[in-house]
Every structure is written in structure tokens, then in C-alpha cells.
Structure 1
């Protein structure tokens, strides 16, 4: 406890010396008793729009602020890209230990994680058929570290391990399992805590909830923002947001906060599977964002078994040109379950178009059109129902059994991971079960007279959604 509190105090002292302005109305608290690590709590009542803290841009741990950026050519960082560049800088600062300007900051950051990157095979198996297992990317990350990061460290060994007579030998060891694990830990810190650090005068197109597109965020430099990452996140109780100013980053209250209340950031509408993958925990508050993803290859395989067309590959190319094809499709929550709300229109269009007879598909392609997602034929409903049922059958346990099994207050790391995996798969199975029931009802309502041919003849496809390809 003493070491934990001492690290917190040193961190706050470092922030003050760095020019940070921290409101006396907030406190950094030890929340380990509720499995939340450190957190920020209001010590006094806070008004809406009140500044909670302001961090100078010079205190952000990023490429631009590290000495390493002055020692290694900019072209090298440009080649690495935002993620690997920040991992490289964090490795450098971490290896410098107390000599690093950010040493007090590193001392309050975790070095043990429950993110999926660090789960063993048995723990991952508890996720069963969840598509999140395909998104962990540990093997590809290892390859990137070996092919991209390690060569840079070797090339600039004397810089990276400045003052060490064994610099070159240490650089040669960077491909070892221990050092690759350290790179994964730096990457996990970035995934869990880093912000997309906008210039002070940037303008980003955001949606109605205030979130920018992934493409826009991916292009921004990444940075670790001290104190901002001490806030825990909550989808329902989000009461603060980080604002980007010319010389600083400022956390403001979004609503009045009472003394004693915790101050929460928000990760955006993430399903619990991604919350677990990126941050290493789950919470019921994010259950509303759960999805059940169905890989495109599974969908095409089901359609192929029902269709004898020789033009499926050509049709997939056409659909891809019209921005319909993705690696997978998310079926989302709705209560009560609504097909039009929860099943993406692109999935409906994909199945409709692939099930069309060859002459019908050729007519639409000749007009540059697509089927309308709101005009679903009986064959399409039946196919979607088979796809959903097949996806549900890939999970090794029944939904009812998972719900009936209690968590028994997990006390070990493995028990905790098993419990979190169970809740992730429960959320996904609930969605698939609801989708199956809704599709079965629709099939019964449509009867046997609602064919694709009649739908196509009665209502030609909607206008083209063709996009300009940039790759």
C-alpha cells in the first residue's frame, strides 16, 4: 500500500513540476478494492464545464517530445507509423528508467494486463466462437516487432542504449521472447491508455456522438496523456472529456459532479469483446453495445451451398466495388429485437444479390444497381436464418447453461478471465438467439410466395452505392 501511494504522490509532484494545472476539487484515489486500480474522484462539488486539469503538451509522452526524435531521422518514424513509433519511444524511455523525464509516470502505469494478448490458450478457448479471437493479432505483432522495430534499434543501438558499452549486444537481444513481451506491454499500454493527439487547431469530422472515423484517428499521432489516463471509463456515467487546445490538453466536466463521485471518461460504443481485447476488463454498462460478428467467408459458404451460380466471384467483386463487402458483419442489440435495426443492410444486400438467378444479377449489374435491403425475399430470410443458427452452433455451450452458471466471485486471475469470457459469449449468444427468433417469425409471416424473382420484378434495385477505390 505504501509503495502504491508513494508512486501516486511522486507522479502528482512530477505533474506539478511539469506545469500541469490540477484542480483542488479532484483527487487521485486508490480504487483497487473495487478492481479499478487508480481513479480520479471529486473531492468537492464540480460544476458543468469546469476544468478538472490541464496538461501541457510538453508533458505528453509522444514521439515529438522524446529526445529520441532528435537522434533518429524523421523518415524512420514516418516509415514506422504512429503505433510502432510510440512503442519505440516508450521502450527507449522505459529502458532509461530514472533518467527518463517520464519515470514517475511509468511508475503508476500497469505492467501486468488482462487484455487478450496475454491470455493462454485455455483462457482464450473460453471465448469459444467469438470473432474477437481473430482480432488479437499477437503473431502478426511479433512479426512487425521483428521486421520493423528491432532493425531500427539495431541500427541506432548506441543512441537507444546511450552510454552502455554493451549497446550493440543489447540491441541484438531485442528479438528475445522477453523483449518481445516488453514490446507487447508497451503496445498494450498504448491500446489501453493512449489518445489520438490532435493539433490545437485541427478540425475532425465527427458523428452525432462526437467520435471521429477510425481512418481519421489512425492517421493522428498517438500520445500518452498523464492524468487523463487515470480516469476509468463508463458508458453510462461518463462525465468528463478531453479537449485539445493549442498548448495543452484539458479535461473538463461534462455535467455537475458531486463530491465523492468518481470521474469517468468514455471509450465510445465498444462491445464488451473489444473492451476486453483493448482494456482487459468488461462491465455490464457496455452490454448495450455487444455485437455478434459473422465472418463473410461463412456467409458466402452458406450461400454457395444454396446457389448453383458460376458467377459468385464476379458478384462479390461487384459488391466490393459498391462498398458492400466487409470481412464480417455485426448483428447488434435491439430491444425488442428488430431485424431492420440489428442486421446490417449490407449483409441483407449481400445475401439477396448472391442468391439471385444469373439473369437477375446481370440485369442489376448492367444498371449499376443493388437490391434494396428493406425488400427481403423469403429465400433471403431462410438463408439468413441458417447462417445465424450455424453461427450459434459454433459455441460449445448453451446460452441457458452459461446464464445458469455463477461466477462465484473469482479470486484468481484465471477465474476472472474465465468469468469475463463467459459474459462476452453470453452477450453474443443472446443476440444470435434473438436474431434467429426474429428471422423465424419473419419467414412464417412471409409464407412461401415471396420469391426473390417476384421481389426483383416488383421493385428493381436501389441506386448504386459505388465508391471510389483508393487502394
Structure 2
């Protein structure tokens, strides 16, 4: 038996001893031959709604379950927040090695990462103008570790390194590069594997599609759920879902699964750029969720060269309505339509800025905004200009990329430069396709509206405009 399989077997034995219920119809298997690490596979046919496994809450690696939570004041964890608190606990459990209850679990977690946090500068450059580069936040994370996490470790060094006469010295060394990298690895494990673990009898407010607000997700405590995080994800093949119960977290089949099939979770509607940022890989199945972000700076820059009446007042009014964001999404669509693919917030911003003085004052008195489904011909052409500006930020054109498209290698080192270059190219190709589709759709709309005899009608109003961005509830 290989060390890889031995670690898997020890992990499953530990999980069973921890009180987990695991169906005999599934197995944890080695899927490295398809660049998938470990994965869960059905070894017998499974029916819809059938229990795959059930993990007791005490087996979850969380702040609540770690002995550190009883040694350090609750106020300290509250100050750190869900992310840093879990990183602190994971560092504590990890450095305790075999003394930690979760040692067999750490032995099956990745130690090498392919997420954007660990890419070299030349590799990140292959993403060109993708907005995902601004979401990596490595420097910000370093500062947060040094200013927030390390001081806590220093303050409680005798607890954190219990029994070590060099505890304070080890705590001081946490600012060294290799220890900061360890913190990044723990953070990357959380980003890739952690679940939002809602307390017993507390439910997130989700809509009919199963999405919770971003603020609610950020406020929930996070936890590493053993085995649940071993499921790979696929937007099209999702066949399992995690359910929260009072004493357990249960993974159940959401459709029949045949023997030999892999069991997949679902990350939700993530664009491939975020799939790469969070999990270190991409797949064509998530191309349907690709987005391009139009920075708000493009709008302010364009407006500075145009005579927009009451510009400052309009920006202030839009901000009061929660519509001023750092960027606005244009998403993939098949077929691509302005109504489905262009951020309604972006349309509302553009149409508000274009309002004549009297019309703006009338809407302002009513506390209303232009309806986001009423993009004018002028608004369409201005938005077209923003999209062209964004397209010019990429150092190569779509046609150039398509003429020499590279496939992602299915074998070899997952962190190879060849693999990273290929994934970056596919991300930027997806974004450039969206920009091209948007350009053509806006030109067609502007031409149609200019020919329309109803172009002089007063813009429609929207009483309750503004749908916040949402994330899938776990």
C-alpha cells in the first residue's frame, strides 16, 4: 500500500472512530491520474435522497471544537473574526501534530497549492486584465497576519506552544517568510474546503434558488468538515448536497448515482477566474458562469470628459441607493442578452448619469431610479465605449488567443508553469468572448432603438430597485 493510500485509510478509520456514519456504497479513492487528488466514488448504485455519510459536529475542525477556544478569551476570537479565528485554530492544531485530534485529517489535506495566491509574477501576468488579479490580496493578507494574528500568538505564546521552553521565541518567528507562507496555506485550505457552519437551530435567510447574502455568509463561523471537503465539484454533474442537522452534517444524494460514478458537490455559480483563485483549477463546465468586471473608474474617467449635468449630485444619489461599487459584472450567456448578462446596477448608473436636470430632479423627489431594463440608445453606446476600453486593457486580442489556444495538461505537476499559463489563457479567452458578445449586442440595441419611433418616451421608473450580490448557501 502506498503512503497516499495509507493516509486515506487512516483518515477513514479516524472518522469512523469519531462517530461518523459512512455508507458502504462509497469509497475515498485516489484520483490523481485525472488531476483530482482524492475523491469520493460510488461502489454500488445509490438512490436519490440516500445518505452518503453523516459527520458529527464535534468532528468538525472549528474554533468551537478546538481546545484553544477554552484557553484564549472569547473576545479575542470575536476580534479576529471567522477567517482569522479558524486560521489561528488550524495553526495551533497543525503545530501540535500527532497530539491534535485532527492529525489524521491534516495528513490527507493538500500541502501544495495551485491557487493564485501561490503563482509567480510572470504567471499572474498571463491573466492580463482579468479583475481576478485584484482579488488575490496577498499583500493585504500578509499585513493582516502580521498586524492581527501574530500579536495574538505572541500574547498567548505559552498556551499556543504549550510545554515548549522556546514558546516566546517561536511566536516571535511567526513573522518570518516560511511561517507567513504557512498561514497562507491554512487560509487557502479554508478558502478551498471550509464550510459556513451555522449553529444549531439557526438558519441563513436564503431565496428560492438557495442563495444567502454575502454579509450573512461572512458572519457565520467557518469549519472544516472532514470527508465533505473531499468531494470534488462540478457544475453539471452535481449529485450530492450537505444538509445541516442538530447533531450532524449529512451528505445526501440529490439524484441517483451509479456504481463507478464520482460523487460531486457544487461550488455554486463561480466564474472560472474565481474557481482558479479559490481552488487552483478550472473546468469548462463553469464557463457558463464567467464574468468580466467593468471598473467604476471607467465610468468616472469617461464622465470627466463629458458635460454630465449634476454629476456629483447623481453619484451621491446613486451611492445613497447602494449602487456605487468598485466594478460591475457582465456575465456569459448562451445566447448573450443584455437583460440577462449586463449588471442591472451598471445600467441604472449609466441611465441616471444621462438624465436631464428636470428628469433627475423629478425622480429624486420620488426616491426612484431608471428601470434597469430600459437601456437607452445613448446609454448603449456609452456602455459600448466602456467595454471597448476594458477590451483594450488586455495585451492580446481574442483572435490572437484563439489562434494559439492551449489545453490544460491532464498529467504532470499540477503547479507547472505550462499548466498555469494554459489555465490563465482560458480564463482571459472566456472574458474576451463576453466582451465581444456584449459589444455586438449593444451595437444592435442602439441601432434598433434609433430606428424605433418610441425613442422619445419618458424613461420608466423602478420603485424597488437594487438586488445585492448573493452566494450559494452551503
User: TM-score when scaled to structure 2?
Assistant: 0.94
Q: Is the CA contact (8 Å cut-off) linking 1:115 and 1:281 kept in structure 2?
A: yes
Tell me the equivalent position of 1:428. Answer: 431
For 1:428 and 1:361, the matched residues in 2 are separated by 34
The alpha-carbon distance between structure 1 residues 16 and 219, as it changes in their structure 2 partners (threshold 3 A), is same
Q: What is the SS of the residue equivalent to 1:303?
A: helix
For 1:76 and 1:22, the matched residues in 2 are separated by 36
Tell me the equivalent position of 1:15. Answer: 15
What aligned pairs does 1:64-463 form with structure 2 within 5 A after superposition? 64-309=64-309, 311-407=310-406, 410=409, 411-412=412-413, 413-447=416-450, 454-455=456-457, 458-459=458-459, 461-463=461-463
Q: Is the CA contact (8 Å cut-off) linking 2:387 and 2:435 kept in structure 1?
A: yes
Q: Is the CA contact (8 Å cut-off) linking 1:86 and 1:222 kept in structure 2?
A: yes
For 2:240 and 2:49, the matched residues in 1 are separated by 9
The alpha-carbon distance between structure 1 residues 462 and 254, as it changes in their structure 2 partners (threshold 3 A), is closer
Deviations 1:442-468 (A, max 9, x none): 12222388899x44xx2453336489x
For 1:421 and 1:408, the matched residues in 2 are separated by 11
Tell me the equivalent position of 1:3. Answer: 3
For 2:407 and 2:250, the matched residues in 1 are separated by 41
Q: How far does residue 111 in structure 1 lie from its aligned partner after superposition?
A: 1.4
After superposition, the CA RMSD in angstroms is 1.8
The alpha-carbon distance between structure 1 residues 107 and 450, as it changes in their structure 2 partners (threshold 3 A), is farther
The alpha-carbon distance between structure 1 residues 464 and 149, as it changes in their structure 2 partners (threshold 3 A), is same
For 2:465 and 2:408, the matched residues in 1 are separated by 50
Tell me the equivalent position of 2:470. Answer: none
Deviations 1:279-305 (A, max 9, x none): 111000001011111111112222332
User: TM-score when scaled to structure 1?
Assistant: 0.95
Tell me, which stretches of 5 or more residues in structure 1 are unaligned?
Answer: none
For 1:81 and 1:408, the matched residues in 2 are separated by 40
For 1:384 and 1:81, the matched residues in 2 are separated by 39
For 1:382 and 1:376, the matched residues in 2 are separated by 10
For 2:104 and 2:223, the matched residues in 1 are separated by 16
Q: Is the CA contact (8 Å cut-off) linking 2:408 and 2:423 kept in structure 1?
A: no
Q: Is the CA contact (8 Å cut-off) linking 1:295 and 1:329 kept in structure 2?
A: yes
Deviations 1:384-429 (A, max 9, x none): 1101111111111111221222426534511111111111111111
The alpha-carbon distance between structure 1 residues 308 and 406, as it changes in their structure 2 partners (threshold 3 A), is closer
For 2:240 and 2:308, the matched residues in 1 are separated by 56
For 2:462 and 2:105, the matched residues in 1 are separated by 55
State the structure with bigger RCO (CA 8 A, min sep 6), 1 or 2.
2
Q: How far does residue 334 in structure 1 lie from its aligned partner after superposition?
A: 1.7
For 2:64 and 2:345, the matched residues in 1 are separated by 41
Q: How far does residue 44 in structure 1 lie from its aligned partner after superposition?
A: 0.6
Deviations 1:196-234 (A, max 9, x none): 111232222223332322221111110000010110000
For 2:453 and 2:377, the matched residues in 1 are separated by 5
Deviations 1:34-87 (A, max 9, x none): 000000000111111111111111110000111101110111001111100000
Q: Is the CA contact (8 Å cut-off) linking 2:323 and 2:466 kept in structure 1?
A: no
Q: Is the CA contact (8 Å cut-off) linking 1:321 and 1:466 kept in structure 2?
A: no
Count of residue pairs brought into register by the alignment: 463
The alpha-carbon distance between structure 1 residues 42 and 460, as it changes in their structure 2 partners (threshold 3 A), is closer
Q: How far does residue 367 in structure 1 lie from its aligned partner after superposition?
A: 2.9
Q: Is the CA contact (8 Å cut-off) linking 1:303 and 1:383 kept in structure 2?
A: no
